[in-house]
Structure 1
Amino acid sequence: MNNRNSINNRNSGSIRNSGNRNTNISGNTINVDRSRDITINNNRNTVVRRNTVVYARPPYVYGGYRYHAYNPYYFHPYTPFYYGPVWHPWGFFVAALAVTAIVVSVESTQYHYDQGVWYAPSNGGYTAVPAPVGGTVNNIPSGAQTVNTGTVNNYYYGGTYYEKDGSTYKVVPPTAGTIVDNLPEGGKEVTIGNVKYVKFGETYYQPIQVDGKNKYEVVLVEEDK
């Protein structure tokens, strides 16, 4: 597979793995779509911020789309990272929130944020949801990974990216080329041509290896015009 030069040391991590499953602290679980090996036939553009660094490697082209990455493809199986008992994947339902939860309003919609997880009211309780872009909080978990996007540092935790905004942290879309150490529960291993990516939400990640360590790079997906 053809996928670009390495940006090996642009991004560094600080998270430790402690397992691969979540436990329920404050509510009852619903069925969460866990890792699956599926084949994607109909792709659509993903919402990531374009990087200012020019791709030196040609993209992987398949099915009318181009998949750009700076680092060479290096397959390793998707193993969800465990962020601890208070972190929950998207779709996880809780009957009540901890007293540490705060209300965050984004474009007239109210969310609840607690220790790196975003919730929306749902059926008499709360369901973990993707972090709303633009959502701003005063603190993020101490285990957040600092990642360099090529222009600024972002902070990554549980599949969500934050950017420092004064004394607060604002949710931002992932930037193409960003390298993260781990992906949480809720992603899907997808087969595109002869390549396996991990799709987390609407973002594709390419498995890579940096300095002998398995990591993931945010892929830029474009229509092959």
Structure 2
Amino acid sequence: MKNIYKTLKKISLLCMIASVLLISIDSFAQRRGGGGAHRGGNIGGATHTRPTQTTRPNSNRGGVQRPANSANKETRPANSNNKISRPANANNKTARPANTNRNNNNRTGNRNTNISGNTRNVDRSRDITINNNRNTVVRRNTVVYARPPYVYGGYRYYGYHPYYYHPYRPFYWGPVWHPWGFFVTTLAVTAIVVSVENTQYHYDQGNWYAPNNGGYQVVSAPVGGTVNNIPSGAQTVNTGTVNNYYYGGTFYEKDGSNYKVVPPTAGTLVDNLPEGGEEVTIGNIKYIKFGETYYQPVQVDGKNKYEVVLVEEDK
């Protein structure tokens, strides 16, 4: 019995110790958040406290301030906008290329000018000042004028035929003929040298050339120039005394076996006038001035022609 009593006494003592320990643990748990059920609540609370910790991004700490600071950093692009003024300055620099282009354009223009100036086989009769003093003196005709002259501006204009206006249309004598002012670099092997009053000309197929700017320019035929042949397309014209031969605005007269350039004879009729003439109005009449020679448009036998006009000062 004593042994049983001692065993029960030990058990009760152990139970008391266990109770004390449980009470201590329970009080400790309450201080820390409670027992098992409270620990479950603590888990839920922990889960809730973690979202509350998510308030840290919304707090005033650096995480939020950093975007604010990054917004401040965005002012750097604003400053970079200020740096855009450099491209603006670059645009100012583009003005230099613009100036360069101007210089290049000027250079190009000069090149084009030089090229056009050196262009060969181009009709430049309209943009070249040509000395037309030769072959402009009109020879008097032995036939008396039956018609009174047209008087205007202190001058008398004589013509055998009545004035009949028709527009001036330059005539083209073919590919071998060239108007005054036409420029070439070289001459054909058929060209010959003709000396007139100590001046040398070159003649080839009805064209008269004078040296000019490293090449040769077509000029009016020099009076007195003599050649051994003229183009087959020359027109035979009657001056009233002798026959002349007319080609490309030039009059030739037979001189033995040769042909000599002569001034136009007053009253001579020709079918066509070459390029290089101009229509001028004198009073009520429109003449064609070719060089210094005046031609009056007339009509003979229903055909349009031009008559060489004698011009004299009205004294």
Q: Settle same-fold status: TM greater than 0.5.
A: yes
Q: What TM-score do the two structures reach when normalised by structure 2?
A: 0.59
Quote the offset at 1:29 in angstroms: 2.0
Aligned CA RMSD, in angstroms, stands at 1.3
The C-alpha deviation readout for 1:186-225, integer Å capped at 9, x for no partner, is 1111111111000011100000001111000000000011
The C-alpha deviation readout for 1:120-153, integer Å capped at 9, x for no partner, is 0000100000100000000000010001111100
Choose from 28, 42, 51 the match for 2:121.
28
Aligned to 1:216: 306
Choose from 161, 164, 179 the match for 2:254.
164
SS of aligned partner of 1:48: coil
Unmatched segments (≥5 aa) in structure 2: 1-118, 128-135
Aligned to 1:173: 263
The percentage of counterpart residues that share the same residue type is 85
Kindly indicate whether structure 1 or structure 2 has the higher relative contact order, using CA contacts under 8 Å at least 6 residues apart: 1
Aligned to 1:10: none
* Aligned amino acid, residue 223 of structure 2: V
Asked if structure 1 preserves the Cα contact closer than 8 Å seen for 2:166 and 2:297, the reply is yes
| Equivalent-residue separation in structure 2 for 1:78 and 1:191 (angstroms) | 12
| Equivalent-residue separation in structure 1 for 2:241 and 2:201 (angstroms) | 29
Aligned to 1:70: 160
* Aligned amino acid, residue 193 of structure 1: G
Q: Does 1:99 align with 2:99?
A: no
Quote the offset at 1:98 in angstroms: 1.2
Unmatched segments (≥5 aa) in structure 1: 1-25, 35-45
Which aligned segments of 4 or more residues in structure 1 are displaced greater than 6 angstroms?
none
* Aligned amino acid, residue 196 of structure 2: V
Quote the offset at 1:31 in angstroms: 2.9
| Equivalent-residue separation in structure 1 for 2:238 and 2:138 (angstroms) | 15
Aligned to 1:203: 293
More strand by share: 1
The C-alpha deviation readout for 1:4-27, integer Å capped at 9, x for no partner, is xxxxxxxxxxxxxxxxxxxxxx93
Choose from 205, 211, 214 the match for 1:121.
211
The C-alpha deviation readout for 1:70-127, integer Å capped at 9, x for no partner, is 0000000000001011111111111111111111011111000010010000001000
| Equivalent-residue separation in structure 2 for 1:75 and 1:97 (angstroms) | 39
More helix by share: 2
| Equivalent-residue separation in structure 1 for 2:126 and 2:299 (angstroms) | 26
Q: What TM-score do the two structures reach when normalised by structure 1?
A: 0.82
Aligned to 1:52: 142
* Aligned amino acid, residue 160 of structure 2: Y
| Equivalent-residue separation in structure 2 for 1:53 and 1:30 (angstroms) | 39
